[in-house]
Amino acid sequence: MKKYSIIIILAIIGTGAAAWYYYRANSVAPSRSITPVQTEEPKVLKIPTGTSSEISLSPLSICRALDKAVEFLNTSPDKITPVNEKQRSFLSADYMTYRRHMKKDMFGPDELKAYAARDAETLNKILRDNGFSIQLEPFSSPDSIGFLAIQDILVKWLEKAERKPIRSGKNEYAGFRLEAQSMAALESAHDAQVSFAVDDERNPTVVMAEIVTQSGDKVCCAVRIKITENNTEAVPFFSGKGVPSDHDVMHTIRSLVENRIQYSGTCRYNAIELPMISYQEQPDVAWFKKLQFPGYTVDQALQEVIFKMNESGARANAAFVFTIAGCTAGIPMPSPEPLIVNEPFLLWIERPGMPLPIFAAYLDQKYWTDPGSIE
């Protein structure tokens, strides 16, 4: 019995000691704690969120085509129903931003045009006449409607640039040189024709050039660089061999715009030398299909973007065209047929501003005869 009593007493002592140790470890702060060294994190470009759908590199033409559809259908933007996340993002970001800031006199009559038509060939001819190669398929149903928007933005440098070839590796390309302080800028009290900004003034990895144009628009470009003691060397902007996605391109541009720092003091650069550009692409806008309008669904969507730049200036051309069909598209529909009025009928004439018809009649067969001339 005495033996068991001793064992019980030792167990109680052991349990108490363990409890006390646990209490001290968890409730009493160490008297000589070590504070981690606060190191300065490397500067990284912030990527803004929620500022753009980043679906298209040329959203203006898409937004204007949407506006044309809203006008033509006599509906409102909040009646458009997205069916996927890309549509939802574009409508809530790009399209709403466009509508909030767009003013009637912001673009000239030839800079942003929109069309609506009930047949594909009408819109296809407009596309061809404006230098675009995208073409709609024949409409899928008799009630289909097509909408087309074309942007054509032409900007010219303050003065014509000097033509100067650009060497890249073993190849030579047509190019031009723009001086930062042009005579045109000096004579008109403009800021420098070309100004420069960086992502980090102490240790820049990206240089941005902003080129002022005659219209007041700015053409901006960004170059990833490696600076040595004597010169600046351009390096590929995106690592890897593949072509970056539109998402990567737009993310990067928006991040640079948000974080750019204008060069202070004496600028390292006094001019910019650029290659001439002839760019023509047809971005994939399949994400736009199946977007819902009241009573209609998008069944075709095409976009083409053309950009040209030389020693005189730059021109940004884009076209976006889409078609909508009645929500019953895909369900067999009867062939179009004439409405044959072969029974007595009502007829009336309305005049805008008049609450009542200015003429009305019930016309039965006794009135059905050739009246001759109505002059």
> What's the rounded Cα separation, in Å, for the pair 70 and 86?
19
Among 23-37, 46-60, 156-170, 333-347, the range of highest mean pLDDT:
156-170
CA nearest 132: which of 243, 58, 67, 72? 58
Mean of all residue pLDDT scores within the chain: 76
Whether the CB-CB separation of 57 and 305 falls below 8 Å is answered with: yes
pLDDT at 232: 81
Whether the CB-CB separation of 272 and 311 falls below 8 Å is answered with: no
More confident residue, 33 or 172: 172
Whether the CB-CB separation of 314 and 166 falls below 8 Å is answered with: no
Whether the CB-CB separation of 302 and 134 falls below 8 Å is answered with: yes
Res. 13 pLDDT band, cuts 50 70 90: very low
Instruction: Tell me the pLDDT tens digit for each residue of 32-52.
Output: 332 333 334 434 444 344 445
- Using a pLDDT cut of 70, give the percent of the chain over it: 68
- For residue 305, the one-letter residue type is V
Q: Does residue 337 have a pLDDT over 50? A: yes
> What's the rounded Cα separation, in Å, for the pair 364 and 37?
98
Parse the chain into domains and list their residue ranges.
59-152+280-326, 162-279
Radius of gyration of the chain (CA): 34
> What's the rounded Cα separation, in Å, for the pair 75 and 69?
8
The answer to which of 67-81, 123-137, 270-284 has the lowest mean pLDDT is 270-284
- DSSP labels for 100-156? HH--TTSS-TTTEEEEEESSHHHHHHHHHHTT----PPPPSSTT-EEEEEEEEEEEE
Instruction: Tell me the pLDDT tens digit for each residue of 215-245.
Output: 888 888 888 888 877 778 888 888 776 777 7
